[in-house]
Amino acid sequence: MDYLEIQGGNRLHGTVTIDGAKNAALPLIAATILAQTPVTIDNLPRVNDIFTMLRLLENLGSTYTFEGNSATIDATTIDNTTAIYDIVRKMRASILTLGPLLARFGICKVSLPGGCAIGQRPIDLHLKALEMMGAEIEIKEGYVIATAPDGLKGATIVFDKITVTGTENIVMAAALAEGKTHIINAAKEPEVVQLCEIIRDAGIKIEGIGSDELVIHGSGGELIDIRHITVIPDRIEAGTYLCAGAITNSSITLEKVNHAHLVSIILKLQEMGYDFEIEKERITIKPASRIKPVRISTSEYPGFPTDMQAQFMALALIAEGTSTIEERLFENRFMHVSELNRMGAKITLNNHIATVEGNAELYGADVMATDLRASSALVLAGLIAKGTTRVHRIYHLDRGYVKLEKKLQKLGAKIERLKE
Ligand code: UD1
């Protein structure tokens, strides 16, 4: 197994290019199931979750090529509608095949994803919404078995909680359903917006894109005309590199970003004392003269993203004072706390609120990555710790960050990928 070895204490400088958004690409790959022709997707990040999704579609009978950052997927040849446990267990987002498979074939079987490190993460809202659209759903032997022999029908759906992949699943299902689907309390994340825009450009009328109410006028079963997609920049990868610049109090420039998607992250960094230079598709973070503590509460977009909570916790360790970080979306997303404390941090937890003491003296240690974003927080802490930090189980990182160590090396960090 690979691990990362980091020698802390270097300032960073230079430029880093941000890849396409994994969380935008995953539903877009699933959406190729709805397409009447092969689809080319550009700016696709070469990370393990993307390979898993491509393999899942291949297992269903699709073919694909993936060269550089461009994949062409032909899902017209799908002849199997069972998403098997062996692939789904590797990545919860496999559930994104449920909506499009059911809408196209009227029957499918998708393994239940199960819990994960950050919480239970049920899919009850996806299932309830599909039932509202006329699906019959049974859970049997670890699988969701869904049928809609006469096709899905438009319905009014009110999500009890805002769910990103839930909204995406229902948007895809509604694209081929008969009649109008009205989604109330929809997610508004940029990744959801891109999916809606692609489906709209493929000929499906969608009202309310970017708002919490969507109305989708389904095709009544006819496949749609998706041809070419360019994935939006990864706002979480960008936010992570901004934190790398911030924690080392360095000036670095990010290229190929969409700063409109980064507003809540940039505002928090400004509150902490950092300056920015923002140009078209580029952002430069400038050092702070004094790093102030922060109060963060995670929420749905456009609020502060839960996927940036761990990285900001690492950053709060160097603030001049005590910060508080509240996690409102996932019940167990604090696994990085004990690992950071092993590096000398003083973070206490009270239910879903972490109190982070600033002015921390961190020292290198062997630490364990527990989930994708928690892993990047440990790398960030390693960048400023005295001595050597080894971050183990980095297969979590490889799910979502393109060549993290190479990009950090280019910025001047001392970081290496080694084998256990
Ligand atoms: C997506 C992102 C993930 C991000 C999260 C929140 C992808 C592939 N993943 O995950 O990186 O951290 O949004 O921004 O895009 N819930 C239910 N029942 C459901 C569905 C969700 O109770 O049927 C709950 C979840 O447990 C959680 C909350 O709703 O507490 C939000 O989850 P959701 O938005 O669905 O997260 P994901 O789409 O899984």
Q: Would the CA dihedral through 160, 163, 169, 175 be positive or negative?
A: positive
Could you tell me the pTM of the whole model? Answer: 0.97
Determine the pLDDT at residue 264: 98
- Residues 154-171, mean pLDDT to the nearest whole number: 98
Q: What is the pLDDT of residue 117?
A: 67
Q: Tell me what pLDDT residue 317 has.
A: 98
| pLDDT higher than threshold 70 for residue 179 | yes
Residue nearest ligand 1's atom 1 by CA: 164
Mean pLDDT of 20-30: 98
Residue 106: pLDDT band (50, 70, 90) is very high
Structure tokens at 377: 């927080």
195 close to ligand 1 (CB < 6 Angstrom)? no
Residue 68 has pLDDT above 60, yes or no: yes
Comparing CA positions, the residue from 412, 403, 337 lying closest to residue 367 is 337
What whole-number distance in Å separates Cα of residue 86 and Cα of residue 103?
A: 23
If one residue of 92, 329, 333 were mutated to test the ligand 1 pocket, choosing by the most ligand atoms within 8 A of its CB, it would be 329
279 vs 172: CA distance, rounded Å: 34
Tens of pLDDT, residues 321-340: 999 999 999 988 999 999 99
- Cα of 146 vs centre of ligand 1, distance in Å, is 21
Answer for the pair 94, 76: CB distance below 8 angstroms, yes or no.
no
- Give the atom of ligand 1 at the shortest distance from the alpha carbon of 306: 12
Please determine, for residue 116, whether its predicted confidence score (pLDDT) is greater than 70: no
Contact 227, 40 (CB under 8 A): yes
Say yes or no to pLDDT of 115 above 90: no
Atom of ligand 1 nearest to the CA of 120: 26
Residue nearest to atom 35 of ligand 1 (CA): 163
Asked if residue 345 lies in contact with residue 336, where contact means CB atoms within 8 angstroms, the answer is no
Measured in angstroms, how far is the CA atom of residue 252 from the centroid of ligand 1?
A: 31
**Does the C-beta of 97 come closer than 6 Å to ligand 1?**
no
The residue to mutate among 23, 127, 163, having the most atoms of ligand 1 within 8 angstroms of its beta carbon, is 163
Q: What is the predicted pLDDT for the residue at 52?
A: 95
The answer to whether the Cα torsion of 355, 357, 358, 360 is positive or negative is negative
Centre of ligand 1 to C-alpha 230, Å, is 24
> Which H or E element spans position 206?
strand 205-207
Residue 239's nearest CA partner among 265, 259, 263, 277 is 265
What's the token pair of residue 270? 């400004």
Question: In the prediction, which pLDDT does 227 show?
Answer: 87
Task: State yes or no: is 116 an active-site residue.
Answer: yes
Ligand 1 neighbour 163 (Cβ under 6 A) = yes
Atom of ligand 1 nearest to the CA of 300: 14
Q: Which ligand 1 atom sits closest to the C-alpha of 96?
A: 8
Instruction: State if residue 165 touches ligand 1 by the CB under 6 angstroms criterion.
Output: yes
Determine if residue 263 is left, alpha or beta; phi over 0 gives left, psi from -120 to 50 gives alpha, anything else beta: alpha
State yes or no: pLDDT of 149 exceeds 90: no
What is the DSSP secondary structure assignment for residue 232, as one 8-state letter?
P
Distance 380 CA to ligand 1 centre (A): 25
Res 82: pLDDT = 97
Q: How much distance in Å is there from the Cα of 56 to the middle of ligand 1?
A: 20
Dist CA 359 CA 291 (whole Å): 10
As a whole number of angstroms, the longest Cα–Cα distance in the chain is 65
Q: What was the pLDDT predicted at 163?
A: 97
340 lines ligand 1 (CB under 6 A): no
Segments in 15-75 forming alpha helices (H): 22-31, 48-59
Distance 15 CA to ligand 1 centre (A): 32
Ligand 1 pocket check for 159: Cβ under 6 Å: no
**Is residue 383 over pLDDT 80?**
yes
pLDDT for res 118: 65
